[in-house]
Chains A and B, each alone.
Chain A
Amino acid sequence: MRTLGIIAILAVLLSTGLWAATEPDGFWTGPVNDPVPTTIKGGKVIHTRDLAALLEKKDKVVLVDVSDAPRRPDNLPATATWLPVPHPAIAGAIWIPGAGLGAPPASVDEFFRQRLATATGNDLARPLVLYCHEKCWLSWNGAKRAIQYGYQNVYWFPEGIEGWRKAKLPTEVVQPEPTP
């Protein structure tokens, strides 16, 4: 009977797709907007209130938004309206689209590595916070990549910009870095 109860819980959770994912061994190459795990090996998970406190306490935190950026097609007519919505980021963040892809081209990987090196002043101990949107694997991958580069204080913020805005915390509009 106890087993049946547990099975019922599992069945309902699985059928609604809300079961938190387990950590993959490597990068996640499945759908980007999918349930995410609650952990990240080699790094720390940080939630909204703790992130706000961390940013208040330390001014040397490097914040990285790895959300996708819209790409204007080369063959879109010059007369077409191209007006991406302003991209709100956590105040102080840099936006590096592409850094959270499951299998980015080598040029993107190298760009991300260099950009982090510059932002941290080549200090592998600098705290790094990676985020994108809620229920979005890009930030998990981005954090995992930073951990692999050797950064020792990598935080992953799974609530993303939606969680940050919901808590009415400060944002600013940013432009994307020129990821190749």
Chain B
Amino acid sequence: MGLSKSGVLAAVLITGALLGGFHPAFADDEDEKDRAARWKQLQESIFPHREVLDSGGIITVDAPPRALDAALVPVELQMPSGKPVKGVYLIIDDNPAPMAAHFVFGPKADPRDLKFRVRVNAYTNIHAIAETADGQLHAASRFVKAAGGCSAPAGSDEAAAMADMGRMKLRLLGNFNAGKPMQAQLMIRHPNFNGMQMNQITRFYTPARFIRTIDATYDGGQVFHLDADISLSTDPVITFGFVPHGKGQMKVVAQDSSNATFDHSFDVPGG
């Protein structure tokens, strides 16, 4: 009996010791300095000669501190202030192509809440930058622990993914009230190959093929335009807000790096 108890105790102690020593202390001073230098480099490269202000209550960014799957990291951007926002950038500092997404909002958008999924290659800061209508940039950031999202195998069957490419679904979330903002979830089937994933059978890198732009319009009025590249996850899912005036059509057009165009119109039933 005593042995069994001590056995369990030993197991707990050993596991604790291993877990404790397992994840390296990445957040030491050296790393902090590197991260600050990296962010400075990115600002200069992406927003040359422009000042990037702090969030100032304009924007927040949320992501799991430790991602379960580095190839599918959910991020949520919130811009609750009501101050008119022209667009928003998501930058994943340590990804080789750090600019993951740039949304430009149109007159039919409700930009207050935006969700999508990205690939994260390393323990990294992510920055969300809102551009207000008066041209100011406001940044919020978060540290994410994930690694290997860029070279993670595409997973499912490549041929099946290609066959399904461009299929879309739109889900309306919540209740319809004419003139009141509501959320919609757009799902697009696309492998979004980033060129760094190795085919497990051929042992060669699958050539990059990724969604470059998505345009959503509601009865002819722009909701958003998205510029993206290889950091968007396989099968993009984007949850966004828009303001329906009544029964209408949500049209989505996506174009990928091979110049394939996918479009679909969805009915938005009136209340």
Interface residues in chain B, defined as those with a beta carbon under 8 Å from any beta carbon in chain A: 1-8, 10-12, 14-15, 18-19, 22, 24-25, 30, 38, 41-42, 45-46, 94, 96-99, 121-122, 147-148, 150-151, 194-196, 198, 203-205, 207-210, 212, 229-230, 257-258
Residue of A nearest to B257 (CB): A75
Say yes or no: is A103 at the interface (Cβ < 8 Å to chain B).
yes
Sorted nearest first, the 8 A-B pairs with minimum C-beta distance are A5-B7, A73-B208, A73-B195, A70-B96, A84-B96, A9-B11, A12-B11, A75-B257
- Give the contacting residue for B196; candidates A18, A71, A81, A162; CB below 8 A: A71
Say yes or no: is A114 at the interface (Cβ < 8 Å to chain B).
no
Give 8 new A-B contacts, CB below 8 A, not counting A8-B4, A70-B96: A5-B4, A12-B12, A13-B14, A68-B196, A71-B196, A76-B229, A80-B99, A101-B198
- Give the contacting residue for A4; candidates B4, B97, B148, B198; CB below 8 A: B4
Is the Cβ of A83 less than 8 Å from the Cβ of B98? yes
A-B pairs with beta carbons under 8 A, tally:
115
Is the Cβ of A83 less than 8 Å from the Cβ of B208? no
Is the Cβ of B7 less than 8 Å from the Cβ of A8? yes
* Interchain nearest-CB distance for A120 vs B (Å): 27
Measured in the bound complex, the distance between the Cα atoms of B121 and A84 in whole Å is 11
Is the Cβ of B11 less than 8 Å from the Cβ of A83? no
18 CB contacts below 8 A, A to B, read A1-B2, A1-B3, A4-B7, A5-B3, A5-B5, A8-B4, A13-B15, A16-B15, A68-B196, A70-B96, A71-B205, A72-B97, A75-B207, A75-B257, A76-B229, A81-B45, A81-B97, A83-B96
Q: Which residues of B have CB within 8 Å of A5?
A: 3-8, 10-11
Measured in the bound complex, the distance between the Cα atoms of B205 and A74 in whole Å is 12
Interface size (A, Cβ < 8 Å)? 38
Measured in the bound complex, the distance between the Cα atoms of B194 and A8 in whole Å is 43
Residue of A nearest to B12 (CB): A12
Measured in the bound complex, the distance between the Cα atoms of B204 and A165 in whole Å is 32
Say yes or no: is A53 at the interface (Cβ < 8 Å to chain B).
no
* Interchain nearest-CB distance for B23 vs A (Å): 10
